[in-house]
Amino acid sequence: MVSETEQATIRRPVVLNGPSGVGKSTIIKQLMRKYPGEFVFAVSHTSRPMRAGEEDGKDYHFKTREEIEDLRARGLMLETAEVHDNIYGTSVQAVESELGTSVCILDVDYQGALSCKRYYSDKPVRPLYIFVGPSDLDPETVCQTIEKRLRLRGTESEETIQKRLTTAGRELEFFHSNPGFYDHVIINKDGALDETVAKVEEIFMQETVLLASPVQA
């Protein structure tokens, strides 16, 4: 819970949403490289197995489903979501421990974004909600692009690629049926990552992501 004295120094968290494979992690990594110490990644909890090269506490907090469910039962999870047979989530602590010093970025799915909106609806902090799409946001084109990117990334089995494509369809359905939910939509076009990152920076400046809005009386 953020105290009144802390409000003056709060920096708005950013909720980044979009289908698997669209490039969310890549964008965050670029920003972190460009602004060392400025952005922090809200390290999520997950019950999925660790992939080669991943580090516990850095890429994710790798926990059992029971451990994550226990945190949720104690009101210590900001959001949780069932994705591809695993439970994912962000703890309140992962976000709020960072608010005074850095811009905290949450890479979550639409269920997570919804939970964040609910959680912060009566709090002094107003996160910025951004949807990242790979193309013109037509479900068919989107799926073709992310399928290609996921195959090139080479981290997923055929089965998980298919699951991610199904989930991508749900992400787009949510996007199209909730106009106004996101503050901004960013298109991460093929081969245009630098352009995407520049657009994100422009939005962050325009939105004064560096300071939270005061509480509305």
Ligand X SMILES: Nc1ncnc2c1ncn2[C@@H]1O[C@H](COP(=O)(O)OP(=O)(O)OP(=O)(O)O)[C@@H](O)[C@H]1O
Residues at the interface with ligand X (CB under 6 A): 20-26, 149, 152-153, 188-193, 196
Which of 58/74 has CB closer to ligand X?
A: 58
The verdict on whether 72 is a catalytic residue reads no
Catalytic site residue from 33, 51, 118, 170: 51
The verdict on whether 164 is a catalytic residue reads yes
Residue 27: name the closest of 217, 196, 208, 209 by CA.
Answer: 196
Q: How far apart are CA 27 and CA 195, in angstroms?
A: 11
The least distance separating ligand X from the CB of residue 121, rounded to whole angstroms, comes to 25
Which of 75/191 has CB closer to ligand X?
A: 191
The least distance separating ligand X from the CB of residue 197, rounded to whole angstroms, comes to 9
The least distance separating ligand X from the CB of residue 169, rounded to whole angstroms, comes to 14
The two most distant CA atoms of the chain are separated, in Å, by: 52
Q: How many CA atoms lie within 13 A of 185 on its CB side?
A: 15
Question: Which class for 13: exposed (0-12), middle (13-18), buried (19 or more C-beta within 10 A)?
Answer: buried
Which of 192/215 has CB closer to ligand X?
A: 192
Active site residues: 51, 153, 164
